[in-house]
Amino acid sequence: MRLFIAFCLLLSTNAAFAQIPDKHEIFDNMMASIEKIRTVSFKLDKSERINGKMVPGSQTVKVNVKPFKVYVLVHVPDVGAEVLYIDGWNDGKAKVSPNKFPYMTLNLDPEGSILRNNQHHSVRQVGFEYTGKVLKNVYDRYKDKIEDFVQIHGEVTYDGRKCWNITLVNKQFAFNDYTVKTGENVIDIARKTYSNEYELLEVNKLSGYDKVKAGQVIKVPNSYCKKIEMYIDKQNYLPIYQKMYDANGLIAVYEYKNLKINPPIRPEEFTPTFEGYTF
C-alpha cells in the first residue's frame, strides 16, 4: 500500500514539473501576446524611487495601441487629475485636467518636467508595448544564458489570476561609458539603450533630462535593471506584476489590476469631450 501511495506521489510530482513551461517559451509567448494587444485597460498601482524614497502612485488607464491613444485618471497622488494624449494630435501636447488650481485644462509636453514630475516614465510609455521592448532587448541579448539568469519559482495567484512567479537576474549587469551625440538628451539615450531614464539622472547626478551636451561621457547600464521579479499571467502571458532592482536596490514596483485585453473602447473615449471627463 505504501509503495502504491509513493508511486502516485511520484506521478503527481512529475506531472506538476511537466506543467512548467520552457523558459524560452515563456518569453516567446509574452512577446507574441504583447504584439496582439490592440486595446487595453487596467488599474496601475506603482511605487518608484524618487530622490531615494519610494513614491506611490495609482491610476486607471485606457490605451489604444495603434494609433497610440491613452487616457489616464489619477487616484494617487493628484486625485481626480486626468491626462489625454494621442500621437499626432494637439501639436504633440497632452491635455491635462489637474483637478486643482488653476482649474483649467493645460496643454503640456508629455516628456516635459511638469508632467513627468516624480515619474519614471512619460504618458507615452503607458501600457505593455514599452515594457515588451525592454524585455525583448534583454532576452535577445542574453537568451543563451537564460537557464542561468532566469528562475521559475512555481505558481502564484495575483489579483485572482494564476501566474508564473519568475525572477530574471542580469549576472553581467554593469555600467558602460556613453558619449552623448549631437542633439541627444537623456530620454533619447535611455530609449536607444533600453535603460531607465530616471536611473540615468541618478547615476550621473543630472538635474534634468536636457542637462547633457554633445561629447559628454555618461554612465549607462547594460540593461534596464539588474533584477526583475515578475508574475506572468498563465492565461495571457503578460507581466502583470513587476518588481525592479538596480545596483542600489529596489527602484520600482508596477502592479496591473483589473486587466482587460482588447476590450471594446469607443473612439470618443479618447476625446476631451467624452461624458464624465473634466477637460
What are 95's strand-pairing partners? 84, 107
Whether residue 5 lies inside any domain: the answer is: no
How far apart, in Å, do the first and last CA atoms of the chain sit? 72
Whether residue 135 lies inside any domain: the answer is: yes
Whether residue 68 lies inside any domain: the answer is: yes
Whether residue 2 lies inside any domain: the answer is: no
Cell numbers at 90, concatenated: 494637439
Averaged pLDDT for residues 180-191? 97
Closest CA to 186 of 111, 93, 87: 111
Q: What is the CATH number of the domain that holds 262?
A: 2.50.20
Whether residue 198 lies inside any domain: the answer is: no
pLDDT at 15 over 50: no
pLDDT at 69 over 70: yes
Cβ(47)–Cβ(57) under 8 Å?
yes
In terms of residue numbers, what domain contains 147? 38-173+223-270
**Per-residue model confidence (pLDDT) at position 29:** 96
Task: Please list, in sequence order, all residues whose beta carbon lies within 8 angstroms of the beta carbon of residue 58, skipping any fewer than 6 positions away.
Answer: 43, 44, 45, 46, 74, 75, 76
Place of cell 519614471: 120
pLDDT at 13 over 60: no
Q: How many domains does the chain have?
A: 1
- pLDDT band (50, 70, 90) for residue 16: very low
pLDDT at 5 over 90: no
Whether residue 74 lies inside any domain: the answer is: yes
- pTM equals 0.91
The one-letter code for the residue type at 160 is G
Distances 181 to 75, 169, 198, 264 between C-alpha atoms, Å: 39, 30, 19, 43
**Per-residue model confidence (pLDDT) at position 4:** 39
123-143 residue pLDDT tens: 999 999 999 999 999 999 999
Share of the chain above pLDDT 90, in %: 90
Closest CA to 247 of 274, 217, 220: 220
pLDDT at 172 over 90: yes
The H or E element containing residue 277 is: none
**Per-residue model confidence (pLDDT) at position 20:** 78
Whether residue 193 lies inside any domain: the answer is: no
Whether residue 152 lies inside any domain: the answer is: yes
